[in-house]
Amino acid sequence: MHIETFQILCDLVETTSFSEAAERNGITQSAVSQQIRALEKKFGVTLVERGRRNFSVTPEGEVFMDAARTILDAYAGIGRQIAVMRDLVAGKLTVATVYSIGFHELPPYLQKFREMYPEVELNVQYRRSNQVYADVLENRADLGLVAYPQEKKGAEIEPAWKDRLVVICPPGHALAKRKSLPLKAIDGERFISFEPDLPTRKAIDAMFSNAGIQVKEVVEFDNIETVKRGVVIENAISIVPSESARAEVESGALVQIPVEGKFVWRPLGIVRRRAKAITPAMREMITILKEAQKERALATSPPL
């Protein structure tokens, strides 16, 4: 027995016409008669009296009609509840992010999300890039944020925004007064590096190779905070995303110098598991991050 059968019976009783009930349900009049007879046979009762001029519902039919309406209302309620759930931004949302994005780029968007959707339990995990992909693909995180996003089996990547890479150095460094720097200008300089497996390190190595330069590597670190600290302690330089050094530049602890040439923008991407259904909380977080992309594009566009 299908839910449509109850609807046919209700339409028949409401219209008192087999032909109108058939038209409402997109079936033939004969099919309406067959459905009603099937119900009567199953329950061993007569539901409607089929006189040529008079159409009436039997007492058993009235009982059945009440039950049919209850079933139809409950069925419609399922759809309404699912629609509400589809639009209700609540529940848990776990975001995995690399350190540089999580500490320096993401906070204003997390704050905006929390203010807009207080019913969401938002959890942020700080990871290395390969761990972000693993968390998303193994369903330990709903969304991931990485630099230089790479295609991964089972992962869906959406562009977020771009960072500008800059040279950082202490205020007393020989390069500190420069307004901008071609890569050739840092050839032979003492340099604080990221560890070799990090995407930003690989991109910087490629920049150096294309420019035909070599730096004197002092030490390697696995995160942005220790790189900045190393620059200060060693009176050396490094290349980092501009946003990650904003606080130190504003306090006067570091100087940042724009890098000239190609490949100075670091792309960031939103990672999600392809087979995972997008929840309302995921959808709204992605929307906020995509709006950030537009805002940054406007901010970095040259004036007309």
Q: What is the pLDDT of residues 134-170, one digit of tens each?
A: 999 999 999 999 999 988 889 999 888 888 899 999 9
Assess whether pLDDT exceeds 70 at residue 202. Answer: yes
- Find the range with the poorest average confidence among 186-195, 212-221, 287-296: 287-296
The Cα 273–Cα 277 span in angstroms is 9
Given a cut of 80, whether residue 87 has pLDDT beyond it is: no
Query: Any idea which residue has 């606080």 for tokens?
Result: 247
pLDDT score recorded for residue 29: 87
Query: pLDDT at residue 257 above 80?
Result: yes
Poorest-pLDDT segment among 7-11, 93-97, 172-176, 247-251 = 7-11
pLDDT at 293 over 70: no
131-142 pLDDT, tens digit per residue, is 999 999 999 999
Question: Higher pLDDT residue, 26 or 54?
Answer: 26
Question: What average pLDDT does the structure give for the chain?
Answer: 86
Q: Is 110 exposed, middle or buried (0-12, 13-18, 19+ CB in 10 A)?
A: middle
What mean pLDDT is predicted for residues 271-291? 89
Q: Mean pLDDT check: name the lowest of 178-182, 212-216, 296-300.
A: 296-300
Q: Is residue 231 pLDDT above 60, yes or no?
A: yes
Instruction: Answer yes or no: is pLDDT of 302 > 50.
Output: no
Domains contained in the chain, CATH given:
3-87 (1.10.10.10), 91-161+267-300 (3.40.190.10), 163-265 (3.40.190.290)
Its pTM stands at 0.64
